[in-house]
Structure 1
Amino acid sequence: MEANGRAGRDENVKITAQLLKLKTGQFDLESILFLKLKNIGICNLGCIGDCVNLERLDLSGNDISNLTPLSSLKLLTVLNLSANRISNLDPLNSCENLQNLNLSGNLISSVDALRSLSELKNLETIRLKDTICNFSNPVCMNTSYRSAMLEIFPKIKVLDGERISGRGSDLYRLCKDMDASLKEMCSSGPVGELPGPKKWVEDSYWELKPMWKTQSDEAVEHFYNILKECRELNNKAADVIAKAERRLILK
């Protein structure tokens, strides 16, 4: 599927020890902590389960449907499975330390298919749709999708890029409301074009790199980033209002 970044690459790739060593430079699979294997046509996860100390894994843009080999990755905290062919999530219920899970652009058809993940007590962020990349799942079309997700994952902090609870949730909703107001003002008359909305999750979010910062440092930095966005939106709003007032005066 070209829309999922599957065009122009090898197909039917199986993960082997040789492939892992080539990609990471590690000769001992148990030494691999971070692994990025996106858009290379993987259809068989092979020996990925031998990387028992793996913490971050990016398998986006492949042809994966069977997740069974991932069940042995007990230390996995971040997993990107976007743009694959996944419908069964049961093997992931063994990944007890999983905190961040991206499943956008797959074949998950019902909320029931997600219930196997309800035992993941550390899960804070889950994504089934991504409007930036135009990825989704059939289940997202269900009118009760959001409420069902919050019922299954009552402690979730971020759903589909929207902060539901925890630090920044009120600010996020404020930014979202301000952005919606700006769009409405712009559509009411030709008062100048504004740049499109910023991504809530930046492109670098899924980069597999060591986490040097503490969670408290990240929370503070995240807070100030949101505050910065609020100021930018406020400046844009003031600029739009000023332009509209000048147009009214000229009339």
Structure 2
Amino acid sequence: MDSKRDNNKEQEGEVEKITAVLLKSHSGEFDLESILFLKFRGLGIHDLGCIGDCMNLERLDLSGNNIVNLAPLSSLRLLSVLNLSANRISNLEPLHSCENLTNLNLAGNIISSIDHLLCLQSLRKLESIRLNDNTYNYSNPVCRNVSYRTIVLEMFPTLKVLDGERVVGRGSDLYHLCKDIDDTIKAGLYKNGQLVEHQHCKPWVEDTYWEIKRSNNAIVEEAYKQFNDILHECRLLNNRATHAISQSERSMSLKKQPKQYAI
């Protein structure tokens, strides 16, 4: 009865626990160690089960579930991108061994203290972390701390993007500060809409310097990553479809062959 109930839940799009069967059916792989990408978004998962057996997993989306315990993720040493948004996570300790993590989304959980982030300081490759997402109204209690951004940036000197905003390069706070100063200088060159010719100060840089290029736009970068994820899924589906068609054609050709009788 329990297995029948679990099958019904999977058919309805709800999964309580990640199993080997579920991993293989979602990835199209027969070997768990061959799985590189997984997306289990909004399935009601609360038990990560045997996901730690996917030793070569590189990208994992577990957003919109009921996950509390991250222990099974501790063995995923090659994991690079991890989305855990909209769950019930407070303890991040198991992630300290995911040494290849570069992009981590934790928005919409119950992380209440800066101290809970200390275990992530060993992640030397971490470039992007999200604890707050205004687009979906996801946050964490820790984000209410008035010094939250300053403390997080000091804790993680390798960060390039915090909560979807660049913290280095032209998207940083320094960029906005310098631009505001230049705008103020330009405004001082005019009086009543007329250029004051005796002013000789010039902006620090050319106007075109402030144009944000595509490669510096964190939103575009994230969209590009998501597009690649979808493209990868399409390729997997295409391979599975091609395999199924090949098997069907082979089966039909065997049926059409004339029967041979021994004389």
2: distance between equivalents of 1:208 and 1:45?
25
Of 215, 229, 238, 1:209 maps to: 229
Structure of higher CA gyration radius: 2
Q: Counterpart in 2 of 1:51?
A: 54
Q: Counterpart in 1 of 2:87?
A: 84
Is residue 65 of structure 2 the alignment partner of residue 62 of structure 1? yes
Is residue 155 of structure 2 the alignment partner of residue 141 of structure 1? no
Give the 5 Å matches for 1:68-217. 68-166=71-169, 168-169=171-172, 173=176, 200=219, 205-206=225-226, 209=229
Residues 172 and 208 of structure 1: is their aligned pair in 2 closer, same or farther, counting only changes over 3 Å?
farther
CA offset digits 1:76-110 (Å, max 9, x no partner):
00000000000000000000000000000000000
- Residue 169 of structure 1, CA deviation: 3.9
TM-score when normalising by structure 2: 0.63
Of 36, 39, 51, 2:39 maps to: 36
**Percent pairwise identity:** 65
1: distance between equivalents of 2:171 and 2:21?
43
Q: The residue matched to 1:79 in structure 2 has which SS?
A: strand
TM-score when normalising by structure 1: 0.66
Q: CA RMSD in A?
A: 2.7
Q: Extract unaligned runs of 5+ from structure 1.
A: 1-8, 178-197, 213-251
CA offset digits 1:146-188 (Å, max 9, x no partner):
11101211221100011001465479748x97xxxxxxxxxxx
Structure with the greater relative contact order (CA < 8 A, sep ≥ 6): 1 or 2? Answer: 1
2: distance between equivalents of 1:31 and 1:149?
35
Runs of 4+, deviation exceeding 3 Å: 9-12, 166-174, 201-208
Letter aligned with residue 35 of structure 1: L
Q: The residue matched to 2:219 in structure 1 has which SS?
A: coil
CA contact (8 A) 1:62 1:84 kept: yes
2: distance between equivalents of 1:50 and 1:172?
44
Letter aligned with residue 107 of structure 1: I
Residues 209 and 199 of structure 1: is their aligned pair in 2 closer, same or farther, counting only changes over 3 Å?
closer
Give the 5 Å matches for 1:3-18. 13-18=16-21
CA contact (8 A) 1:162 1:172 kept: no
